[in-house]
Amino acid sequence: MSKIFGLTGGIAAGKTTVLNIFKKLGCQVYDADQVARKVVEPGTVGLAQITKQFSKNILLPDGSLNRKKLGRIVFSDRRQLKILTSITGPLIRQEIVQIIDEVKNSPSDQITIFEIQLLFETHYEEYFDATIAVYVDHEIQLKRLIKRNNITEQAAEDKISSQMPMAQKRALANYCLDNSGTVEDLEEQIKQLLKQL
């Protein structure tokens, strides 16, 4: 049976960088964001339900979802966001659990890493062999987020504080990676971690 590990971390902690390093080092990788996009592609039950709820105005001319338009609707109204989550949440979970089952039942001995931003918040930890949290110092996280999203310090602080604290994710995880240094430092930590997995 193949082993699969859940990867999480705070916003701008470097989860994508970590996932890319794992891939470079020969691991199979998955990303929950890709799954979230897949369940609302044209022709899916997800897109049909979203269109029924929010009208055809949230579609692009080619029939695909206009993410920006839908984002403006749901992020300005918590009730609408809750409705959207009630549609997409179960579909995303079903797809993720199916991928995890396929990996676990695969004869391959390749290590698989699955990145899920809200891993602990949505209780996915039970599905994995173990969990990994990537973290950075608050100051570094703040600077990276301001630069990456081109937002004010206050907006960045608001985004960070709206999430589960990094310290809590670290406490819940089986393994931790410190991404406060260079990419080389991070890669070295990941190489050491792979020896333990």
Predicted confidence band of residue 176 (pLDDT cuts 50, 70, 90): very high
Predicted confidence band of residue 23 (pLDDT cuts 50, 70, 90): very high
Q: Is the pLDDT of residue 75 over 80?
A: no
Cα 39 from Cα 170, distance rounded (Å): 30
Q: Over the chain, what is the mean pLDDT? A: 91
pLDDT of residue 162: 74
Q: Is the pLDDT of residue 125 over 70?
A: yes
Domains of the chain in sequence order:
1-27+110-197 (3.40.50.300), 33-107 (3.40.50.300)
Q: Average pLDDT, stretch 68-88?
A: 87
Q: Average pLDDT, stretch 15-42?
A: 94
pLDDT of residue 155: 79
Two structure tokens written together for 159: 């985004």
Q: What is the pLDDT of residues 4-20, one digit of tens each?
A: 999 999 888 889 999 99
Which runs of E-coded beta strand occur in the chain? 4-9, 28-31, 112-115, 130-135, 175-178
Contact 40, 69 (CB under 8 A): no
